[in-house]
Amino acid sequence: MKQLAVLGPNGTYSTRAIQSLEKKYDVKLYPTILKVCTSVDIKTDGLIPFENTLDGFVMEGLDSIIQNQLFIREQVQLDVNFSFVANTTDLSKVKEVYVQFKAYGQCLNFITKHNLTPIVLQSNMESYEKIKNEKREDIGAIIPIHIDTSCFLYHLDNVADSKLDQTRFVRLTKDQTYENVSFPSCCSAIITPIQDSPGVLFDILEAFKKSNLNLSSILSRPRRDIMGNYIFYVEFLLEPNSLHILKALKDRLEKDRKNSFTVIGIYNRLEVRK
């Protein structure tokens, strides 16, 4: 059975997302997204949180995919929400809060309303373990809503900024082949401008328009090798029999050596859930 590197520990939304994958895996847990991505090889796939409806893309994950030359093979989506817990019945005594770095962006209204100073951690379960073991009255924690809160004196459910809080997770591989894919599919790609000149972004958008491809996401990330230069991460939908359109798009973008175009994922389309 193939291995799957996952952001742990057990109990995180990442470990719950495993159940929605197409295949079964021998799971190995890692403490950070970077360690998950660097563990992906021929024998090991990876699973990381990639985007949240309230807090946007997980930049650490996107950058790690690019740096490690990984390929997005599958995506799954989970409804998420959070509980606030504390070891006191008096909320006014709580001055600080343990919170995972993405959960912080999803629960910002609650944290601000109660004047809590965030202590940002790598994992939701790390927040849970710390508040459970320390027994301090002046600190609380934001933890996944599915975690048992019966051991705490105070708990409040649904503290995310919106009940429509969803996170998508992506399965990553080292294998970058995509000849045999099902449609419609989503495609992720990296566009690297080679010639820094006025109208670079306009030319990129025009290439998509001429190819009749609908962009669903576009964002810039620093190249990391040249200060002030950026690459563009894009997502778009591929309809049946559109691999030839993908080639035409590549030709348009790379014409006159203006850009380089690299596909970094072709994967299943998710249904929009409301």
Cβ-based neighbour number of residue 121 at 10 Å: 20
pLDDT exceeds 70 at position 194: yes
Pairing between strand 139-144 and 96-100? parallel
How many angstroms separate the Cα of 272 from the Cα of each of 76, 78, 160, 170? 12, 12, 20, 16
The DSSP line for the chain is --EEEEE-STTSHHHHHGGGSSS--EEEEESSHHHHHHT-BTTEEEEEEEEETTTEE-HHHHHHHHHTT-EEEEEEEEE--EEEEESSS-GGG--EEEEEHHHHHHSHHHHHHTTPEEEEES-HHHHHHHHHHH--SSEEEEEETTS--TTSSEEES--SS-S--EEEEEEEES----SS--SSEEEEEEEEESS--TTHHHHHHHHHHHTT--EEEEEEEE-SSSTT-EEEEEEEEE-TT-HHHHHHHHHHHHGGG-EEEEEEEEEEPPPP--
Confidence at residue 179, expressed as pLDDT on a 0 to 100 scale: 67
What mean pLDDT, rounded, does the chain reach?
A: 92
Confidence at residue 252, expressed as pLDDT on a 0 to 100 scale: 93
pLDDT band at 107 (very low <50, low <70, confident <90, very high): very high
Pairing between strand 44-52 and 56-57? antiparallel
Look up the pTM and report it.
0.90
CA dist., res. 45 & res. 196, Å (int): 36
C-alpha angle 6-157-96 in degrees, rounded to nearest 5: 80
pLDDT exceeds 60 at position 274: no
**pLDDT tens digit string along 111-131?**
999 999 999 998 999 999 999
